[in-house]
Amino acid sequence: MSPSQSLTSSTTTSRLNQINYHTMGSAGSPTMFTADNVPRAAEDPLFGLMAAYKKDTFDKKVDLGIGAYRDDNAKPWVLPVVKKADDLLRKDPDLNHEYLPIAGLADFTTASQKLVLGADSPAIREKRVVSFQTVSGTGAVHLGGAFLSKFLPQPTPAIYMSSPTWANHNQIFTNVRLPIKSYPYFSSETKMLDFEGMISALSSATKGSIILLHACAHNPTGVDPTQDQWKKIAEVVKAGSHFPFFDCAYQGFASGDLAKDAWAVRYFVEQGFELCVAQSYAKNFGLYGERAGAFHFVTAPGSDAQDTVSRIASQLAILQRSEISNPPAYGARIASMILNDENLFKEWERDLKTMSGRIIEMRKAFRDKLEEFQTPGTWNHITSQIGMFSFTGLNEKQVGILKDKWHIYMTKNGRISMAGLNTHNVTYVAESVSATVKETQ
């Protein structure tokens, strides 16, 4: 059957279903949403992986797919400072469950601006930032995408994202109808940044495109540009009059140093860009399910800057109102209490060091063990990559063997969550990877 014949036949079937539905009601075709209209979507690969891991009864099974921090006993970790703020909040006799304003909790968004842009940011000083509390980082990415799609001059420019990127980027920006393009990012040869490929693609992007950048701890590769490379990226983005869109989901979680992890965003602001930032508090506060995040729009310096941000704020309020009305309160209250209290903030910095430090230790231990077991290939990328994830370079076949033979679960692209490693399982994982690589050589 030719594609046009098959299209005609499926259109006819769906039309017949509609007629059936209207003439016979539930006795005919009981739904308007037939498989023609609503084809079954592919299962999210991560959920399939999680289900397979849960079902596995092997006592040494290891979950390296999970995108959440785990302690050295493979358990979720409530940050002590979050526990403290949570207790204080629960005991507060004035706590109520009223709606937050459309833009969210003002103390939270103001502190969030300072956290990511720096307390002495020229953009904050010159009042050319507008911030909205969002449904975590995903909501912030979405709000930014919806705004750009609606208000950038027509024809709507494409958004360029790194290849690979966090899988949800593609879905979110497709949903808001932004054309999607990609730039090379990861070199499978060096297992580090394909800097030349990235610069060359950004240099030839259509003028005025949106460039999506991971502020730090790139997901899924764990590969970040150096500060000199960021400077070059900024040059190219400026030369193309592009709009930088930063996704900042791991500030403080990557290196343990909040300023270091926000360096690229702050550098771009210093360079006078108009840009936006999607900020998540899922990983750095461990507030995954509380959905605390923020969207920041920074306009370029100029005499009209304050007017520009206030017009943008008025439109963001309409978008926010039509989608969520008001953001969720509890997680933002916890984050706000910590961000606005000097002592709690210091405790938080210690907790961040605990998480990032454990992950950095695991990187070292994993690499050492792989080398000790004389695993073919080079493994220095394990320690030079940063943050939650590592792109190991393991191929799909090896990933399959690790799952079926060794009960070690990771995504098919060879990405592992470093948080899934701990002092009890790192030797077992390294041994298994080593045996698998040798077996498949």
Ligand X SMILES: Cc1ncc(COP(=O)(O)O)c(C=O)c1O
Q: Which residues are catalytic?
A: 166, 247, 283
- Cis peptide bond prior to 155, omega within 30° of 0: yes
Among positions 138, 375, 390, 436, the unique one binding ligand X when judged by CB under 6 A: 138
Closest by Cα among 158, 146, 117, 140 to 299: 117
- How near is the Cβ of 139 to ligand X at its closest, in Å? 7
Among positions 34, 131, 136, 284, the unique one binding ligand X when judged by CB under 6 A: 136
Among positions 123, 216, 262, 282, the unique one binding ligand X when judged by CB under 6 A: 282
Q: H/E element holding 109?
A: helix 106-117
- How near is the Cβ of 287 to ligand X at its closest, in Å? 9
Q: Is 137 in the site for ligand X (CB under 6 A)?
A: yes
Interface stretch with ligand X, choices 136-144, 251-259, 331-339, 406-414 (CB under 6 A): 136-144
- Site track for ligand X across 157-196, x = CB under 6 A: ---------x------------------------------
Q: Is 375 in the site for ligand X (CB under 6 A)?
A: no
Instruction: Specify the 3-state DSSP secondary structure of 358.
Output: helix
* DSSP tag of 193: B
Q: Is 252 in the site for ligand X (CB under 6 A)?
A: no
Following DSSP, what letter does each residue of 25-66 receive, concatenated?
A: GGGS---S--TTTSPPPPPPHHHHHHHHHHH---TT-EE---
- How near is the Cβ of 208 to ligand X at its closest, in Å? 24
- Nearer Cβ to ligand X, position 137 or 240? 137
- Nearer Cβ to ligand X, position 291 or 363? 291
- Nearer Cβ to ligand X, position 171 or 343? 171
Q: CA 113, CA 24: separation in Å to the nearest integer?
A: 58
- How near is the Cβ of 51 to ligand X at its closest, in Å? 19
Q: Is 280 in the site for ligand X (CB under 6 A)?
A: yes
Q: CA 346, CA 242: separation in Å to the nearest integer?
A: 37
Instruction: Specify the 3-state DSSP secondary structure of 248.
Output: strand
Check: CB of residue 365 under 8 Å from CB of residue 426.
yes
- Nearer Cβ to ligand X, position 16 or 46? 46
Question: Checking DSSP bridges between strand 275-280 and strand 210-214, what pairing results, if any?
Answer: unpaired
Q: Tokens 């002592």 appear where? A: 343
Closest by Cα among 301, 244, 245 to 272: 301
Closest by Cα among 296, 248, 294 to 127: 296
- Nearer Cβ to ligand X, position 144 or 293? 293
- Nearer Cβ to ligand X, position 381 or 415? 415
Nearest-Å Rg of the Cα atoms of the chain is: 24
- How near is the Cβ of 249 to ligand X at its closest, in Å? 4
Instruction: Specify the 3-state DSSP secondary structure of 179.
Output: coil
Interface stretch with ligand X, choices 48-56, 91-99, 280-288, 328-336 (CB under 6 A): 280-288
Interface stretch with ligand X, choices 4-12, 135-143, 202-210, 402-410 (CB under 6 A): 135-143
Instruction: Specify the 3-state DSSP secondary structure of 131.
Output: strand
- How near is the Cβ of 86 to ligand X at its closest, in Å? 18
Interface stretch with ligand X, choices 113-121, 137-145, 147-155, 198-206 (CB under 6 A): 137-145
Q: In angstroms, how far is CA 100 from the centroid of its own chain?
A: 25
- How near is the Cβ of 92 to ligand X at its closest, in Å? 25
Q: CA 412, CA 398: separation in Å to the nearest integer?
A: 9
Interface stretch with ligand X, choices 91-99, 132-140, 255-263, 373-381 (CB under 6 A): 132-140
- How near is the Cβ of 214 to ligand X at its closest, in Å? 6
Helices (H), 326-341: 330-339
- Nearer Cβ to ligand X, position 128 or 256? 256
Q: Is 67 in the site for ligand X (CB under 6 A)?
A: yes
Q: Is 149 in the site for ligand X (CB under 6 A)?
A: no
Q: How many CB atoms lie within 10 A of CB 367?
A: 20
Among positions 85, 116, 211, 249, the unique one binding ligand X when judged by CB under 6 A: 249
Q: Which of residues 217-236 bind ligand X (CB under 6 A)?
A: 219
Residues in the chain: 441
- Nearer Cβ to ligand X, position 113 or 219? 219
Q: CA 302, CA 308: separation in Å to the nearest integer?
A: 10
Check: CB of residue 310 under 8 Å from CB of residue 131.
no
- Cis peptide bond prior to 153, omega within 30° of 0: no
Report how many residues bind ligand X under the rule CB under 6 A: 14
* DSSP tag of 16: H
Residues that bind ligand X (CB under 6 A): 67, 136-138, 141, 166, 214, 219, 247, 249, 280, 282, 288, 293
